Structure 1
Amino acid sequence: MMIVTTPYIEGREVQKYFGIVNGEGLIGANVYKDIFSGVRDVVGGRTSTYERELRKTREIALDSMKEKAQQLGANAILNVRIKYSNLGGTMGNTILVSVNGTAVLLD
């Protein structure tokens, strides 16, 4: 399954459009991660714990989208967009990773 951010793949023609497919993943930051992340931000450096968690959550969202496209008979997803949203409020430091694109059948 090809997953690309472009609206087409050079040298390949779309045989069929299946429509929009999407996937979501949630990551909840707990108090200990928040504390250690804050300490690291003060001293400098990267917050690798958050980076790892975001990467895993993004993969979950992409896998979910890919599964939906495969069920439709697609072999590619074009024009993929990834969005990160902090749900905040009653959800604490919950981050939603959402992805969407157009499922297609390429030649």
Structure 2
Amino acid sequence: MIIVTTDFVPGKEVKELKGFVKGSTVQSKNIGKDIIAGLRTIVGGEISEYTEMMEATRKIAISKMVKDAEEKGANAIIGMRLQTSAVMQNASEIIAYGTAVIVE
């Protein structure tokens, strides 16, 4: 599956639009990671526990979007975007979305 953030795939021609596709997941914080992250805020620096958690969550959302595109018969997704929102205290949603297309 080709995934691009642009409205076209360089060197390819969009032959057919398959429509909007998305994938989302909601991730809550882990109490153990929360404690470690709290300690890290005292000394400063990257909170790698959250960085790793959000990276894994993005991968899940993207894989769900790809599955949606494959089910529509697409071989590419153009205009892909990621968005995050808080759905409740200590939980965030990541959504990946774009336009499924067939390119040649």
**How does the TM-score come out when normalised to structure 2?**
0.94
Which moved further from structure 2: 77-86 or 33-42?
33-42
Residues 1:99 and 2:90 aligned together: no
Q: Which amino acid aligns with 1:69?
A: A
Which structure 2 segments of 5+ residues have no match? none
How many Å separate the matches in 2 of 1:64 and 1:31?
A: 26
Give the equivalent residue in structure 2 for 1:59.
Answer: 59
- TM-score normalised to the size of structure 1? 0.92
1:1-40 CA-partner distances (Å, limit 9, x unpaired): 0111111012211000001000001110033322221210
Corresponding residue number in structure 2 for 1:23: 23
Deviations 1:66-87 (A, max 9, x none): 0110111100000001001112
Q: Residues 10-89 of structure 1 correspond to what in structure 2 (within 5 A)?
A: 10-88=10-88
Name the amino acid aligned to 1:16.
Answer: E
The two structures, once aligned, show a CA RMSD in angstroms of 1.0
